[in-house]
């Protein structure tokens, strides 16, 4: 009876041990399958990230070509070709940030997986041998991730360099715009100055008192001739644009007037008489020719 009890007890212990080993084996297999699934997931992440980096490199090259004025034919799936280089740079910045976040997540998962492998293999030589290959694979993934982080740093530098270049181009463009504006204003000022002419109409006494004419020649104070003064003040004249004012009316249509200044009267529709007098007013047919000898027209009432 005692012998039978011992045999039954031994059988029970052996069965219990067998059940325990089976349970441990099942747990180990489940853990191995879990690590394998993690490895496959990490492999997908690494592959997708590598493709993402390749896409961004392509887009950077496209932006650089557009910034240099060299059109590049877009491919399906690439960044929209209708974006400006500045808009593309901003889009790439966003994608690089997304890529960095993705790599950080992958790196965290790699660290967690390695820790998981370390925990599973602690004190279990058989399982350590089975999972050594997985740990090696995860370690190689870490190398790839480190390389990808270096590529991200390079991409970031390229985007920043493009941004700096774009800022410099904008500054150059702004400078050129300012210079162009200044030249345009200077040209307008020169054109205005070139086309601005002056005229005055008055009696001999009025013109003499204002210092517009002087008297020369004659004998004993008689027979002196009125001539333009050596220095003329534009403030004493009426300023007009020679391209717009082609007619000048005289104050008194019944009186004759004489041109004292050195204008080319051949450019008038009606020439003065032999005494250099004219009535009614002046009608200029060729402004450039008429005003060429002098910008100051002095008309004296007779």
Cα separation of 59 and 159, whole Å? 11
Q: Pairing relation of β-strands 196-202 and 296-301? A: parallel
List the one residue out of 278, 241, 233 whose CA is nearest residue 260: 278
Q: What is the pLDDT of residue 289?
A: 96
pTM of the model: 0.46
pLDDT at 101: 78
- pLDDT at res. 234: 95
Cα separation, 260 vs 224, whole angstroms: 13
> Can you give the pLDDT at residue 297?
97
User: What confidence score (pLDDT) does residue 181 get?
Assistant: 83
Rounded CA-CA distance 142/148 in Å is: 10
Residues with Cβ < 8 Å from 139, sequence gap 6 or more? 114
Distances (CA, A) of 162 to 71, 95, 173, 215: 17, 15, 16, 74
Quote the CA–CA distance of 98 and 91 in Å, as a whole number: 11
pLDDT in tens, the chain (302 residues): 445 544 444 554 455 555 556 676 676 667 667 666 766 666 676 676 667 667 766 766 665 665 554 444 444 444 455 667 677 777 777 877 777 777 777 677 767 766 766 666 666 665 566 566 666 666 676 677 677 777 777 777 877 777 777 777 777 777 888 888 888 888 888 888 999 999 999 999 999 999 999 988 766 556 688 999 999 999 999 999 999 999 999 999 889 999 999 999 999 999 999 888 999 899 999 999 999 999 999 999 99
Alpha helices (H) along the chain = 2-67, 85-121, 125-195, 204-209, 287-291
Q: 73, 84, 102, 51: which is closest to 162 by C-alpha?
A: 84
Q: Secondary structure of 15-29 in the HEC alphabet?
A: HHHHHHHHHHHHHHH
Q: How far apart are CA 125 and CA 132, in angstroms?
A: 10
The pLDDT value given to residue 38? 62
Domains of the chain: 2-72+83-173 (1.20.58), 193-301 (no CATH)
Q: What is the largest CA-CA distance in the chain?
A: 178
Residues 197 and 261: beta-carbon distance below 8 Å: no
């Amino acid at each position: 009876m005692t012998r039978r009890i011992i045999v039954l007890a031994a059988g029970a212990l052996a069965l219990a041990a067998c059940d325990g080993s089976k349970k441990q084996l099942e747990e180990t297999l489940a853990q191995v399958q879990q690590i394998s699934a993690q490895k496959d997931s990490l492999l997908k992440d690494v592959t997708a990230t590598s493709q993402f980096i390749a896409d961004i490199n392509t887009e950077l090259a496209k932006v650089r070509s557009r910034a240099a004025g060299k059109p590049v034919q877009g491919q399906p799936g690439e960044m929209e070709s209708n974006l400006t280089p500045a808009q593309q740079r901003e889009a790439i910045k966003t994608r690089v940030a997304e890529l960095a976040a993705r790599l950080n997540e992958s790196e965290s998962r790699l660290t967690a997986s390695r820790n998981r492998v370390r925990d599973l293999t602690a004190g279990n030589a058989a399982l350590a041998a089975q999972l050594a290959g997985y740990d090696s694979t995860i370690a190689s993934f870490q190398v790839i991730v480190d390389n990808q982080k270096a590529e991200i740093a390079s991409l970031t530098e390229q985007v920043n360099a493009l941004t700096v270049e774009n800022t410099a181009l904008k500054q150059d463009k702004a400078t050129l715009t300012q210079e162009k504006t200044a030249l345009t204003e200077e040209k307008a000022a020169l054109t205005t100055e070139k086309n601005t002419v002056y005229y005055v109409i008055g009696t001999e006494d009025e013109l003499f008192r204002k210092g517009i004419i002087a008297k020369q020649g004659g004998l004993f104070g008689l027979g002196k001739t009125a001539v333009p003064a050596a220095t003329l003040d534009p403030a004493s004249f009426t300023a007009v644009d020679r391209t717009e004012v082609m007619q000048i009316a005289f104050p008194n249509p019944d009186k004759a007037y004489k041109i004292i200044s050195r204008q080319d009267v051949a450019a008038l529709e009606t020439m003065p008489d032999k005494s250099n007098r004219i009535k009614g007013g002046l009608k200029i047919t060729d402004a450039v020719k008429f005003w060429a000898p002098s910008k100051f027209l002095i008309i004296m009432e007779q």
